[in-house]
């Protein structure tokens, strides 16, 4: 085997070893086994972004300002563009705040679900997961809980 191949093989072993040990180890009598699930955080986050009313409104404002900037003409064009760029910068700060709020909400949902269901570990699907049973995927459950919390916090007259 070539030297380069040995490096990749060792790296593969280092990555897989903890997973294999976890799967191979069985709890002693009287010991509970850990409950492990996974979630596709990217899918949950994208779902939350697509459905957040504040973010949708911010995106509409940004698009409107960009159109206004691209269509500005006349003597006051430079001054108008400067004002528009300032407004866009302010909207970008607002967008970051909304995204942080969404991230925190997702984290809260996952933590609460783990506590309610007695889950010991929840992994993100994309982070070095080599194999997982689809039955252990709680992505859809997290999305439903997130939607439920959003609906619950909406005004009654909605």
pLDDT one-digit tens code per residue, 18-71:
544 444 445 555 556 888 888 988 899 999 999 999 999 999 999 999 998 888
Q: HEC profile for 46-77?
A: HHHHHHCHHHHHHHHHHHHHHHHHHHCCCCCH
Length of the chain: 158
What CATH superfamily classification does 35-153 receive?
Skp domain (3.30.910.20)
Task: State the Cα–Cα distance between residues 157 and 138, nearest whole angstrom.
Answer: 31
pLDDT one-digit tens code per residue, 113-148:
989 998 888 888 876 665 677 888 899 999 999 999
- The pTM of this model reads 0.66
**Tokens for 94?**
């607002």
């Amino acid at each position: 085997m070539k030297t380069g191949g040995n490096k990749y093989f060792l790296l593969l072993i280092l990555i897989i070893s903890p997973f294999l040990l976890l799967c191979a180890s069985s709890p002693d009598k009287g010991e509970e086994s850990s409950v492990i699930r996974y979630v596709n955080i990217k899918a949950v986050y994208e779902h939350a972004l697509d459905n957040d009313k504040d973010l949708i409104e911010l995106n509409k404002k940004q698009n409107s300002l960009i159109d206004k900037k691209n269509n500005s003409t006349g003597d006051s064009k430079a001054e108008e563009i400067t004002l528009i760029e300032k407004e866009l910068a302010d909207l970008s700060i607002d967008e970051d705040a909304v995204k942080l709020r969404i991230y925190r909400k997702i984290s809260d949902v996952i933590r609460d679900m783990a506590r309610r269901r007695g889950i010991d570990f929840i992994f993100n699907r994309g982070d070095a997961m080599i194999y997982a049973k689809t039955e252990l995927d709680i992505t859809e459950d997290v999305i439903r809980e997130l939607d439920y919390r959003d609906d619950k916090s909406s005004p009654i007259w909605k």
